[in-house]
Amino acid sequence: MSDEATPATEPSPARFVVCGDSTLARRLVTELVDRYGVPVTVVLPSLTGNHAPDIAEFRPETGDPALRPEILVARRLTADVLDRAGVRDAAAVALVGADDVANVDAAMIARELDPDVRLVVRLFNAVLGEGVASMLGDCAVLSGSEIAAPAFVAATLDDEAPTYLRLADDELVRATSRRAVEGTAADVVCALADTGGPEPVTLPADEEGADLVLVREYGRRGDPEPQRRRPHLLRTTGLLFGRTLRLALGGMAVLFAVAAAVLAYARDLGPTDAAYLVLLTALGGADADPAASPVEKVIAVALAIAGVALVPTVTALVVDALVHARLKVAAGGLADPVDDHVIVVGLGNIGTRVLQELHAFGRTVVGVDRTESARGVAVARELGVPVVIGDATSPETLRAASARTCRALLVLTADDVTNLETALLGRSVHRSRGTPGRPDGTLRVVLRLFDDGFAQRVQRTFGLTRSRSVSYLAAPAFAAAMMGREVIDTISVGRRVLLVAELPIGAGSDIEGRYCPDISVPGEVRVIAMRTGRAGQTIWSLPDRRPLVRTDRLLVVATRAGLAALLPRTVPSADPPPLAEPAPLRLLTAPAGRADRPESERPA
């Protein structure tokens, strides 16, 4: 057949490989297929565990059968398995299993198969992550719990603690409510969302009507001092005198009081003499008196028998209480009951991060987990945070964590139903009272819920309006990293997420030569700053008349769909034109009221 008769075929796009069956893997596959429209191969350890069935049955939103993910089942990520998954020809490989060691091992194998493939590795251990990122070349190391933790903390504390973005040390940018910055020296960079309606409107066109804004501050960030708990002698004593011991002592006291009253009446004694005689008789120190009346003899015998039974019993209970209290203190339990604190249930990856951030903000925290070996138990004890080991769906466990007097309850286990059950139980155990910032005394509950539909039904039925999904918050950052773009941070707006990304202007790309205001699209993308080729210069007052060049980088806030639409426009062309010199930037006059600031703190 001649060349003219041969149909021209376009090269198939490079595939993206995802290894894992976790909630993050499921969200990541959805993000890559539905947002970026790229083919995906998924390596699953089995077809029945975790979220593997949902991944295997995934259907693209477009209905295009070509975008259905290819499934490869393998118990271990060996060199042969990764080779069959197409790592050698893949555009990027994401290793998002729950085991840090397995992810690192697979990353090293993938690098041996292809020295140039882009790697995105999920790791909880920050020290290990820094080493892996520095040694494996084109490798992004991300932690889903680190990305999602600020959203849970913000839902817990509201405006009480600022949510700073992870920019350079001298750039203090945070998301906060508009009312929190009124009358301050902070600059409003852009409007993030209008949360006044039933559903939040992100990146609204009406910036003045938005109540959630991104602001830039001047000066240095000050970390709050951890709050110190004041000792409560009476409450600490309550740890020793448990319910059983209190009942035993109470019964003894009632018996002695009745006996003293009877002897005082029979012998015409005063209260002091009657009490003396009762105690002496009960402790075996009184002599028998044959001449005593029958009533006195009965009381004496009863006291002697009670003394024989009660004294060893009380002694055993006291010893047991002392040993129990000592073991509880040694295990890091709640030896000193607290109030106005935050309870974190589930000390896995996300629970550990949340506990650390709350402690860093100076909040009193109590951890709860059903197993002693949970990752966050050791971390909590290093920080001096008490931990209650027990089933959080049991009222006794929540009472042991002082749920009756807490200000907030975070339920962060991996099971949605368990989280809901714990939240409802915690709300019933909690004592309604007025607390700072919450005059009605209602308990603030923050849930970890994976399923969006389930979260909406929980909100409508039970009024639990604060829920977040770790995988939903983290997946966009992992997907952007696989596409070769860096997501600096995320901003949670309810169960939605906004992405803060830094995008280089590709040579000959669609946006080279355009102006910053032309890039912003209401509801999708907002350009907040521009970084020029000159080292360390970030321009927050965006120039209107200077075109973008390939040495610039944009800092943007975008929705998931907005970032997915913007990324292709930043890709360099195959044959870019020569670089044109940009027009020099005009010197900007400091706004009124800013002239007294040091030059180093003035906006560029």
3-class SS string, 157-214: HHHHCCEECCCCCCCEEEEEEHHHHCCCCCEEEEEEEECCCCCCEECCCCHHHCCEEE
Name the residue type at position 145.
S
- Its pTM stands at 0.74
In a domain, 335, yes or no: no
In a domain, 41, yes or no: yes
Domain's final residue, options 468, 496, 513: 468
In a domain, 427, yes or no: yes
CA separation for the pair 311, 557 (Å, rounded): 71
Same domain, 383 and 281: no
Identify the pLDDT of residue 184: 74
Angle at 249 between CA 244 and CA 250, to 5 degrees: 95
Sequence length of the chain is: 604
Same domain, 27 and 128: yes
In a domain, 349, yes or no: yes
Burial 281-294 (b: 16+ CB within 10 A, else e): bbeeebeeeeeeee
In a domain, 441, yes or no: yes
Interhelix angle for 470-482 vs 23-30, to 10°? 50
Q: How is residue 435 annotated by DSSP? A: B
Nearest to 152 by CA among 383, 398, 367, 408: 408
Identify the pLDDT of residue 107: 95
- Domain of 528: which CATH number? 3.30.70.1450
Same domain, 516 and 568: yes
Nearest to 87 by CA among 55, 52, 65, 120: 120
* Terminal C-alpha separation, the chain: 65
- Domain of 349: which CATH number? 3.40.50.720
Same domain, 362 and 400: yes
In a domain, 474, yes or no: no
Q: Which residues pair with 596 in a beta bridge?
A: none
Same domain, 107 and 193: no
Angle at 593 between CA 591 and CA 599, to 5 degrees: 70
Same domain, 124 and 43: yes
CA separation for the pair 106, 112 (Å, rounded): 10
Identify the pLDDT of residue 230: 46
In a domain, 493, yes or no: no
Q: Looking at the 3D structure of the chain, how many domains does it have?
A: 5
Largest CA distance in the chain: 135
Same domain, 20 and 132: yes
Q: How is residue 599 annotated by DSSP? A: G
DSSP code string of 65-90: GGGSPEEEE-SS--HHHHHHTTGGG-
- In the three-class reduction of DSSP (H, G, I as helix; E, B as strand; rest coil), residue 219 is classed as coil
Identify the pLDDT of residue 268: 78
Domain's final residue, options 286, 306, 330: 330
Q: How is residue 511 annotated by DSSP? A: T
In a domain, 73, yes or no: yes
> Is residue 177 a contact partner of residue 211, using CB atoms and an 8 Å limit?
yes
Domain that holds residue 411: 342-468
Domain's final residue, options 279, 308, 330: 330
- Domain of 246: which CATH number? 1.10.287
Identify the pLDDT of residue 270: 80
Same domain, 404 and 301: no
What is the block-wise mean pLDDT of the chain (604 residues), using blocks of 10 residues?
A: 40 82 95 93 94 94 91 95 95 94 95 95 89 89 91 80 64 82 80 84 89 78 48 48 65 78 78 71 56 63 63 66 55 65 94 93 92 92 91 92 92 94 93 49 87 90 91 92 86 86 90 91 92 75 86 91 91 81 54 46 45
Identify the pLDDT of residue 170: 57
Same domain, 372 and 431: yes
Same domain, 181 and 283: no
CA separation for the pair 571, 269 (Å, rounded): 101
> Is residue 392 a contact partner of residue 348, using CB atoms and an 8 Å limit?
no
What HEC string does 443-491 produce? Answer: CEEEEECCCHHHHHHHHHHHCCCCEECHHHHHHHHHHHHHCCCEEEEEE
> Is residue 427 a contact partner of residue 443, using CB atoms and an 8 Å limit?
yes
Phi then psi for residue 191, to 5 deg, are -85, 130
CA separation for the pair 35, 565 (Å, rounded): 8
Same domain, 304 and 395: no
Same domain, 452 and 545: no
> Is residue 141 a contact partner of residue 133, using CB atoms and an 8 Å limit?
yes
Q: CB 544: neighbour CB atoms within 10 A?
A: 9
